[in-house]
């Protein structure tokens, strides 16, 4: 047998693949992996069809098609009042995952420290480790998931290269506030720390709150790469199209890696999304759309023994199950699939040392019919 030493000895299969596969095997109602089970706008599908038929089927430019980059400039300017130059400050990527991986690989060197808030989305840490960086985890409290900025300050030293933030936050469904961003700005003053801001759920914010994009804060924006995902925004996670924006000095470095990592990404879909973005209502109404889904789901499980604070953003709801069992969350999530045919994601996999706080994450980006089936099961537990 070939002999090799793993570069990622502690990495197994992602929880999303594990729970998704188990859900399929047991024909469970699948609220585990985050994806909508309803279709995209037929207008968008028609635009893809037309782009294919018009022959946009060869390599796109390395940075992405210019017209789409221009649209992104306009979108960010109108939402957050910050102008990114389409020529030098935007790159279209194969989803946010590639944007995140490429950003980490472009900047993190061996022994560099990267601060990550736990629970954290699972693609950040393997990338940091692969490039020899050290993950500096900060665990957030299980109720509020608030960041204590004094703790962050205490973790910063000369080797801190990057901080990764994510708002709206997966898996907790919480948001960073204006106060958080101002504190972050103060903590980073006078440092050369790069901020990687994962904002894939930027349009999915509830209760009239605003999304606090890093782009709104000039001192933060000047040191940040911001990642976004059209998959999340347009109900097409399988298309894997996203983008990254940031100041020219960071983007030039990002593109040095991007050009050899993927070179360029899906051309006809870029053409279609560029046209689709002419109508802002598609993303401006998304928060309201998912807020109704959240409320439908929470009303549905009203008689269950799960405990919760309503999600403030994303399409995830965290539920506590202390009143149901004291089983470990991974074991309970697996049993829920096998015995009750309902799939979720256990939060411990995203926590520091896999801390088990008896919490599960449920995705409510589902048809009301699916949510009805889910709540019927959950109310029986």
Residues lying near ligand PMP in the complex (CB under 6 A) are found at 34, 95-97, 121, 166, 170, 198, 200, 229, 231-232, 237, 240, 242
Sequence-distant (6+) residues with CB within 8 A of 46 are none
CB closer to ligand PMP out of 240 and 358 = 240
In the complex, what is the shortest distance from the CB of residue 318 to ligand GLN, in angstroms, rounded to a whole number?
12
Q: Which does 73 bind (CB under 5 to 8 A by kind): ligand GLN, ligand PMP, none?
A: none
Say whether residue 33 binds ligand GLN (CB under 6 A): yes
Closest CA to 230 of 190, 165, 188, 274: 274
Q: Which does 242 bind (CB under 5 to 8 A by kind): ligand GLN, ligand PMP, none?
A: ligand PMP
Check: CB of residue 109 under 8 Å from CB of residue 322: no
CB closer to ligand PMP out of 89 and 199 = 199
Minimal CB distance residue for ligand GLN: 34
Strands in 316-320's sheet, in edge-to-edge order, are: 316-320, 359-363, 345-346
Q: Which does 33 bind (CB under 5 to 8 A by kind): ligand PMP, ligand GLN, none?
A: ligand GLN
Check: CB of residue 350 under 8 Å from CB of residue 361: no
CB closer to ligand GLN out of 14 and 185 = 14
Q: How far is CA 286 from the centre of its chain?
A: 16
Q: Which does 203 bind (CB under 5 to 8 A by kind): ligand GLN, ligand PMP, none?
A: none
Q: Which helix (H) or strand (E) holds 147?
A: none
210: its two tokens: 């605003």
Say whether residue 34 binds ligand GLN (CB under 6 A): yes
End-to-end CA gap in the chain: 48
233: its two tokens: 């925004």
Q: Is the dihedral of CA 123, 81, 172, 316 positive or negative?
A: negative
- Give how many residues touch ligand GLN by CB under 6 A: 5
| Residue ranges in 154-193 that form contacts with ligand GLN under rule CB under 6 A | 170
Residue 27, classed as helix, strand or coil, is coil
Say whether residue 346 binds ligand GLN (CB under 6 A): no
The footprint of ligand GLN (CB under 6 A) covers: 14, 16, 33-34, 170
């Amino acid at each position: 047998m070939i002999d090799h030493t793993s570069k990622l000895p502690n990495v197994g299969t992602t929880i999303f693949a594990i729970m998704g596969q188990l859900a399929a095997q047991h024909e469970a109602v699948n609220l585990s992996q985050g994806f909508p089970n309803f279709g995209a706008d037929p207008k968008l599908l028609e635009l893809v069809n037309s782009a294919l038929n018009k022959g946009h089927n060869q390599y796109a430019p390395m940075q992405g098609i210019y017209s789409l980059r221009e649209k992104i400039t306009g979108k960010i300017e109108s939402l957050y009042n910050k102008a990114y130059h389409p020529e030098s400050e935007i790159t279209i990527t194969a989803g946010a995952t590639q944007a995140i991986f490429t950003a980490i690989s472009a900047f993190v060197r061996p022994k560099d420290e990267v601060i990550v808030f736990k629970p954290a989305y699972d693609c950040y840490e393997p990338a940091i480790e692969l490039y020899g960086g050290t993950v500096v985890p900060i665990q957030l409290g299980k109720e509020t998931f608030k960041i204590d900025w004094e703790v962050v300050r205490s973790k910063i030293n000369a080797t801190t290269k990057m901080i990764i933030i994510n708002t709206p936050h997966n898996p907790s469904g919480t948001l960073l506030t204006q106060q958080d961003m101002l504190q972050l700005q103060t903590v980073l003053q006078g440092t050369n720390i790069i901020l990687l801001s994962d904002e894939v759920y930027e349009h999915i914010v509830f209760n009239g709150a605003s999304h606090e994009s890093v782009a709104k804060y000039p001192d933060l924006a000047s040191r940040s790469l911001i990642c976004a995902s059209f998959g999340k925004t347009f109900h097409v996670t399988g298309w894997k199209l996203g983008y990254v924006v940031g100041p020219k000095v960071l983007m030039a470095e990002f593109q040095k890696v991007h050009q050899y990592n993927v070179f360029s990404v899906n051309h006809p879909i870029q053409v279609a999304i560029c046209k689709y973005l002419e109508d802002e209502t598609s993303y401006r109404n998304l928060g309201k759309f998912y807020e109704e889904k959240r409320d439908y789901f929470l009303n549905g499980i009203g008689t269950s023994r799960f405990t919760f604070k309503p999600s403030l953003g994303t399409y995830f709801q965290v539920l506590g199950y202390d009143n149901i069992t004291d089983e470990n969350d991974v074991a309970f999530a697996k049993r829920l699939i096998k015995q009750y045919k309902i799939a979720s994601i256990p939060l411990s996999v995203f926590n520091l040392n896999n801390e088990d706080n008896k919490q599960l994450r449920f995705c409510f980006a589902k048809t009301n019919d699916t949510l009805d089936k889910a709540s019927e099961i959950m109310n029986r537990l």
